[in-house]
Chain A
Amino acid sequence: MTYDGALPRPTPETRAFWDGTKAHRLMLPWCEACGQPHFYPRAICPHCLSDRLDWRQASGRATLYSYVINHRPAKGFEAPYVIAAVTLDEGPRMLTNIETDGPPEPDALRLDMALEVVFADVTDEITLPRFRPAP
């Protein structure tokens, strides 16, 4: 079945990120001037405004910063599902989904729990980075 959820349209600044997820690699822009990574990918580093950026693969490990369980689904989603803010081990925060075995339960989703990235190939072009509890 064709995926009918919202899809990103990569821009020059974000192309390397989406090429990365398609290859099942979580890539982050690192600033060569100040040494810090950032997310979402920008044309310039939000910490020091340098445009000397270097794409590096992230560990794919994160912790659960906060989340919601949505019961009124967006197109392409089946309720209930988890929308979460996760803190990557490298530092930046990203919005994602948490995959769970069975319907998500608040008791099983503890803040600060360890997570790992999984890649959802939703179309031939787009792979979304999602997370699941780390084993």
Chain B
Amino acid sequence: MSRLSRTCAIVGAAETDTIGKRPDRSRLGLHAEAARNALADAGLKPSDVDGIFSAPAGPNELSEYLGIVPRYVDGTSVGGCSYMIFVRHAVAAIAAGYCDVALIVHGESGRSWLDMPGLDGPASPNGQFELPFGTRGAPTTYSLPVLRHFHDYGTTRRQMSHVPAATREWAILNPRAMMHDKGPVTPEDVEASPLVCHPFHLLDCCLVADGGGALVVTSAERARDMGRKPVTILGTGEATAHRMVAQMRDFTVSESTVLSGKTAFAEAGLGPSDIDHLMLYDAFSFTPMLFLEDLGFVPKGESGPFVAETTTGPDGRTIYRTGPGGELPMNTNGGGLSYCHSGRYGMYALIEAVTQLRGEAGARQVEGIETSLVHGPGRQFAAAGTVILANA
């Protein structure tokens, strides 16, 4: 166990008032609304904040927008796991005395596209060596490694189709989920949905939404005196291996996930069997399958058989291993596939872990959990961030 384990806690966690369609808010406006809500959740004022960690808005943009002058700034922007990495950096900064109250903020107008950045320029590596070959956003790049995994490990289309089906079961239990009232989907439904980019069909792909979220992190000592029951940070990890998908050295392994996961487990002094609840960023159906393997929850190459094994409940309903009633509850808000996905989903995964550990998840609450692991990628298995949390 690292000396930084259990030194800090999450004392505030909140999203924008609503998620999904927010034509009333720009990218920065969504950041600000989320920041305000997280500070209210923590019972703190803007003047209490002395560390700003934000993406995709830079900490300079956001401090100006919020009228805060922080003494610590972090604008790490490596994709959807930037927020897991911010939690790690906040723990280090607080331990170093560089700040006492860290405000970590996300906001994206992924659907309404108000003040969002453009594509990489034509002189960039991506602009020269990937965009000219007709890549068009995440569905054309996150999909690229999948057939290699199928080929090398015998993973099947049908196995992969179980992931969106299991995740939808959680969304049905979550009234905030964008797919809450859309009914269940079966693996067959996933394969019958329109082809987007073979092997991905529409239901393999995450939603496109507007939204924001924010966290407040402070020392465990200070957290004890605050109103909220703190969620303790046991361990964290981060890594980055590449940026463009074709530069991934082995398409069947996320090197950054392996390194980030090992670091977080070592820091926490825990292993996969100690984790009660999982949030594995599901940009696409295949994404969390690779993470289950590379974080050590299933042996290498066996995520397909793992997610595809189901049982039948007493009411005749299918019970997925990662769904409600399953042995490894995963993506319990409904995930990027059925809850919300604004582009950098990592923040929503962290907030759901906090909500579950606080016991405030309502109909989808997983009973008796003490630990949660949150993990995500930045771009296509390029960067990674891991956070292990506990409610005691």
A contacts, CB < 8 Å to B = 5-11, 14, 18, 40, 65-74, 76-77, 80-81, 83, 85, 93-97, 106, 111-112, 126, 128, 130
* Given contact pairs A69-B197, A95-B245, A74 touches B147 in the complex (Cβ within 8 A): no
Apart from A95-B130, A95-B135, A95-B245, what are 10 other A-B pairs with CB-CB below 8 Å?
A5-B134, A6-B122, A66-B251, A71-B197, A72-B197, A74-B135, A83-B135, A95-B244, A96-B133, A97-B133
Assess the B145–A128 pair: CB atoms within 8 A.
no
Assess the B197–A9 pair: CB atoms within 8 A.
no
Does B227 sit within 8 A of A, measured CB to CB? no
B contacts, CB < 8 Å to A = 121-123, 125, 127-136, 139-140, 143-148, 151, 194-200, 244-247, 251
Query: Roughly how many angstroms separate A18 CA and B146 CA in the complex, as a whole number?
Result: 30
**Can you pick out 26 interface pairs between chain A and chain B where the beta carbons lie within 8 Å of each other?**
A8-B122, A8-B128, A8-B129, A8-B131, A9-B128, A66-B147, A66-B251, A67-B144, A69-B195, A69-B197, A69-B198, A70-B139, A70-B197, A71-B194, A71-B195, A71-B196, A74-B134, A74-B136, A80-B198, A93-B246, A95-B245, A96-B133, A111-B147, A111-B148, A111-B151, A130-B133
Query: Roughly how many angstroms separate A111 CA and B131 CA in the complex, as a whole number?
Result: 23
Assess the A97–B134 pair: CB atoms within 8 A.
yes
Max count, chain B CB within 10 A of own CB: residue among A81, A83, A96, A128: A83
Query: Roughly how many angstroms separate A7 CA and B133 CA in the complex, as a whole number?
Result: 9
7 residue pairs, one from A and one from B, having the closest CB atoms: A8-B128, A69-B198, A95-B246, A74-B136, A9-B122, A66-B148, A6-B131
Assess the A94–B147 pair: CB atoms within 8 A.
no
Query: Roughly how many angstroms separate A8 CA and B121 CA in the complex, as a whole number?
Result: 9
Query: Which partner residue on chain A sits nearest B199 by CB separation?
Result: A68
Query: Which partner residue on chain B sits nearest A18 by CB separation?
Result: B128
Q: Which of B129, B140, B145, B251 contacts A70 (CB 8 A)?
A: B140
